[in-house]
Amino acid sequence: MCALTPLFYCLIFIDRVKPANEAANRSELNPVHFLARSATVYPSKLAVIHGNRRYTYQELNRRSIAFAYALKEQLKIGRGDRVAIIAPNIPAMLEAHFGIPAANAVICAINTRLAPAEVAYILEHSGAKAVFCDLEYEALVKDSKLPKVIIEDSGLPSDPYEQFLQKGLSKADTLGWSGLDQTDDEEEAVSLCYTRYLQAFFADKDEEARGVPRRNADADDNVFVLDTQNCPPVERQESPRECFTHTEECTYPHWVTSLRRN
C-alpha cells in the first residue's frame, strides 16, 4: 500500500470501479484501475491499433469488462482461479491482462515459444481452469482437457473469441465495473509467471520449474516505476505479432494504459 495515494485514484469514475472497502484511509492497489481511469478521462483516444482494427479506450474498457463477465458466467471462473493464455501481441492478450484480474482471477500468460510438453506442464502445475489460445498456437494445447477459447484474431463475429466476449457485453453495458467485485486485498496474486527455460525440469525431475506469483500491489507499483523512468513506449515492432517482451515482469500492458496523454 502506497503511503500517498495517486491523484487519479481519487477521481470519481463515470463507470465507477466498485471499492473493495469503504475505509477512508486505504485504497487497495489494483492494476485494472488504470484502464477504468483512461476510459473515463480519454474515452475517444485511440488505445489499440491492430491491422485494420482500431479501438478507443472506451471500447477497450468495454471489451475488457465483457471478458470478465464472460469468464464468470460462461467458464464459471471464481476468485483466485488461474486462467492461462497463449497468444502473441494481439488485442485479446491486452484485454486478458485487464479482464482476468477484473474477474478476481489470476492470469497465467504462457510463452508461445515453448514446446507442447512444457506448455502441458505449466497448465497442470498452475492449476489453470481454462485456456485461451491463438489459432496459430492451437497445436500447443491440442491434448489439453481444459475448456478452451480459440482466438482467430479476426475481430469478426465468427471468431470464437468474439463470440465469447458477446456473452459478457450485456452486463458490461448495464453494470460495467460496478457489477464486478474488486480485490479487497492488494496482497492477492494477480498473475502467475513461468520461465521459458524449463529444461531443468525435463533433465532432472528433482528440479521442477515453479511459477512465480505476483501481487496486485506489485503490478501497480511497477507501473509507477516505469512511468517515473520515462521509458518510451514501443513505437514499432519488427513483427506486429511478436509477444509482449517479458509481458508479466515488465508490466507493459498495464503501463501503456496508464501513460499520461496530452
Q: Whole-angstrom distance between the N-terminal and C-terminal Cα of the chain?
A: 28
CA separation, residue 145 to residues 32, 123, 150, 192 (Å): 30, 10, 14, 20
What are the per-10-residue average pLDDT scores of the chain (262 residues)?
A: 43 52 66 85 92 94 97 94 93 93 92 90 93 96 96 97 97 92 73 65 51 47 40 41 40 50 46
Note the pLDDT of residue 236. 38
pLDDT value at position 213? 46
Burial of 86: CB neighbours in 10 Å, binned 0-12, 13-18, 19+: buried
Q: Which fold has domain 28-231+239-258?
A: Rossmann fold (3.40.50)
What local confidence, expressed as pLDDT, does residue 233 receive? 43
Query: CB within 8 A of 60, min separation 6: which ones?
Result: 35, 39, 47, 48, 91, 94, 95
Query: For residue range 171-222, what is the model confidence (pLDDT) as tens digits?
Result: 999 999 989 887 666 668 788 888 655 544 455 544 555 555 454 444 444 4
Alpha helices per DSSP H over the chain: 32-41, 57-74, 91-102, 116-126, 160-174, 199-203, 216-228, 247-250, 252-258
| 48 closest CA partner among 34, 63, 37 | 63
| Model pLDDT, residue 33 | 83
* C-beta of residue 82 within 8 angstroms of C-beta of residue 108: yes
For residue 115, report the phi and psi dihedrals to the nearest 5 degrees: -80, 160
For residue 67, the model assigns a pLDDT of: 98
- 32-41 and 91-102 helices cross at what angle (nearest 10)? 110
pLDDT of residue 113: 87
- Rounded to two decimals, what is the model's pTM? 0.74
Rounded Cα–Cα distance for residues 228 and 238 (Å): 27
In sequence order, which residues have a C-beta less than 8 Å from that of residue 2 and are 6 or more positions away? 29, 221
- Name, in order, each residue with C-beta under 8 angstroms of 27's C-beta and a sequence gap of 6 or more: 5, 9, 19
Cβ-contact 78, 105 below 8 angstroms: yes
Which pLDDT does position 37 carry in this prediction? 85
Which pLDDT belongs to residue 182?
73
* 152 alpha carbon, distance to own chain's centre: 18
Question: Considering only CA atoms, which of 91, 85, 143 is closest in space to residue 111?
Answer: 85
